[in-house]
Amino acid sequence: MAPTKKGILERLNAGEIVIGDGGFVFALEKRGYVKAGPWTPEATVTHPEAVRQLHREFLRAGANVMQAFTFYASDDKLENRGQTLKITGAQINEAACDLAREVANEGDALVAGGVCQTPSYLSCKSEAEVKAIFKKQLDVFLKKNVDFLIAEYFEHVEEAEWAVQVLKASGKPVAASLCIGPEGDMHGVSPAECAVRLVKAGAQIVGVNCHFDPMTCVKAVKMMKEGVEKAGLKAHYMVQPLAYHTPDCNCQGFIDLPEFPFALEPRILTRWDMHQYAREAYKAGIRFIGGCCGYEPYHIRAVAEELAPERGFLPAASEKHGMWGAGLEMHTKPWVRARAQRHYWENIRPASGRPKCPSLSTPESWGVTKGHSELLQHKEATTTQEMKHVLEMQKKAKASA
């Protein structure tokens, strides 16, 4: 029998670094297995080999959490705005757990089951109705015996609290991660207060994911940590940011950028940026360090390589990657061989190759969030009249920018 793995809290309590995986939604959309717009994870059923392979690549890169691909796998999201899948949320969640467990068993990785924000909450459904949605996913996670649970990608701390309360009833460790920056959630609740509320709701790990670049997310988690400590509470901290530079973002994050989601590539962080991120997160006292949208396995490998001295080992994928470009010593061209040094890559200032493009964008800043009629969701497809209305809103937003 295989030895019993240490759990997530056992690892964090011992001061170990836990490395999360990357952004499955964006990575699989680029590979042709996820549809941009609904962003739902039916690929766990329709193309399990694609999901399995991505898990394996993140495991090889150094991740020791295999997060089941259950993002937006709630029934209300699967039926939103004209989507007509012949696959249930339970089927998707079960397949996701099986795939994550299969790959986790190939290494020293844990399996996390996750829930995220719902169309029902944005449509102002009741607390009981929203919690019932989380409970349906939790039932699958318990059936599949995941190692711990994550409530992630919440713009509103209230909905995240509801998710934590549901997940906490399972008795399994719970992490809670908001998609917020230093300005707080979409109703202006500060990161510090958000963290305190999540810990009081029962989360043992709190932090942020998505919507902002690594340094912005680290800053937000520092604010959370300060708030928790000031309140006399205790928690572990996690961060799983974007792999995109977002210095021009406002409270809503990258989805307000005009490049979202199909023209973000010029903003991608390099592997060397990831070294800096990993070090800053570690210095901030964050021990669960991973990635979200935009992250590919080589980004996670860079995180693992930067933290190898603390972890005591390199990831398997480093077999094909010389530290700080050392493999370039084998290059045929002498000017490329000269780049096989840390100083060169730490100081590189990458050009975009786009002379007519600006370095920053103007976020659209519609200011629409829960409580606005434009965010009411429905099962029917978006109508022509609805599209006409949003295009008129877009025109007004651009005129006032």
Please name the CATH architecture into which domain 8-325 falls. Alpha-Beta Barrel (3.20)
pLDDT at 2: 55
Enclosing H/E stretch for 277: helix 271-283
- Which pair of structure tokens corresponds to residue 192? 């510090």
Contact 262, 374 (CB under 8 A): no
DSSP 213-240: -HHHHHHHHHHHHHHHHHTT---EEEEE
- Which pair of structure tokens corresponds to residue 334? 């002498």
Task: Look over the chain and give the mean of its residue pLDDT values, rounded to a whole number.
Answer: 94
Is 217 marked within a binding site? no
Is 251 marked within a binding site? no
pLDDT at 350: 94
Cβ neighbors of 297 (< 8 A, separation 6 or more) are: 22, 54, 57, 58, 60, 61, 317
pLDDT at 81: 72
Is 249 marked within a binding site? no
Question: What single DSSP character describes residue 36?
Answer: T
Half-sphere exposure of 50 (CA within 13 A, CB side): 18
250 burial via Cβ count (<10 Å: 0-12, 13-18, 19+): middle
pTM: 0.93
Ranges of the chain whose pLDDT falls below 70? 1-3, 80, 82, 371, 375, 401
Enclosing H/E stretch for 209: strand 205-209
Task: Report cis status (omega within 30 of 0) of the bond before 261.
Answer: yes
Segments making up each domain of the chain, as ranges: 8-325
pLDDT one-digit tens code per residue, 250-264: 999 999 999 999 999
